[in-house]
Amino acid sequence: MKTSWLFLFSMLLWMNAKTQNNPDACVGTWLTGSKKGHVQIYKQGDKYFGKIVWLKEPNNPTTGQPRTDINNSDAQKKTRPLLGLVNLRDFKYDGSNTWNDGKIYDPENGKEYSCKMKLVDANHLDVRGYIGVSLMGRTDSWTRIK
């Protein structure tokens, strides 16, 4: 019994160490905290981006048409589809499972915020949007799908 606990503990440490210094550890598809969408995070050059790849309610219930960015303050962007919309951009890996200096766009209110992401473990990502300093913001916990 003692050996199996030691083995399990060793495996957990190994898995944690494996994700700690991997800049690409955030790459994948994530279920948002609200469970209303999936965001696929990908690397482009030396920065990380994310786009909406699935919506729980992809169509407008009134019109039956695909949901669009109706809450955007830019009138020209109100008709762009939410599916495929890049809502995370310009993140840089900062070490220690953290990506900083990014922006997040919230299509539910049409606003963009400064953002940082922290990989809690291999399957959980904390995404913190804020205005000004990180202390004044909100954290959403995402779960890895792929």
Q: How far is CA 89 from CA 5, 99, 104, in A?
A: 41, 11, 7
Which pLDDT does position 10 carry in this prediction? 46
What confidence score (pLDDT) does residue 134 get? 76
> What was the pLDDT predicted at 13?
45
Whichever domain contains 22, its CATH number is: 2.40.128.520
Rounded CA-CA distance 116/132 in Å is: 12
Rg (alpha carbons) of the chain, rounded to whole number: 17
Alpha carbon distance 140, 142 (integer Å): 6
Write down the pLDDT at residue 3. Answer: 56
Residue-wise pLDDT tens for the chain (146 aa)? Answer: 555 544 444 444 444 444 468 999 999 999 999 999 999 999 999 999 999 999 999 999 999 999 999 999 999 999 999 999 999 999 999 999 999 999 999 999 999 999 999 999 999 999 999 998 777 899 999 999 98
End-to-end Cα separation, the chain, in angstroms: 33
pLDDT score at 87: 98
- Which domain covers residue 27, as residue numbers? 2-144
Cα distances from 28 to residues 24, 48, 90, in angstroms, run 9, 11, 16
Count up the domains in the chain and report the number. Answer: 1
Other C-beta atoms closer than 10 Å to the C-beta of 41 total 23
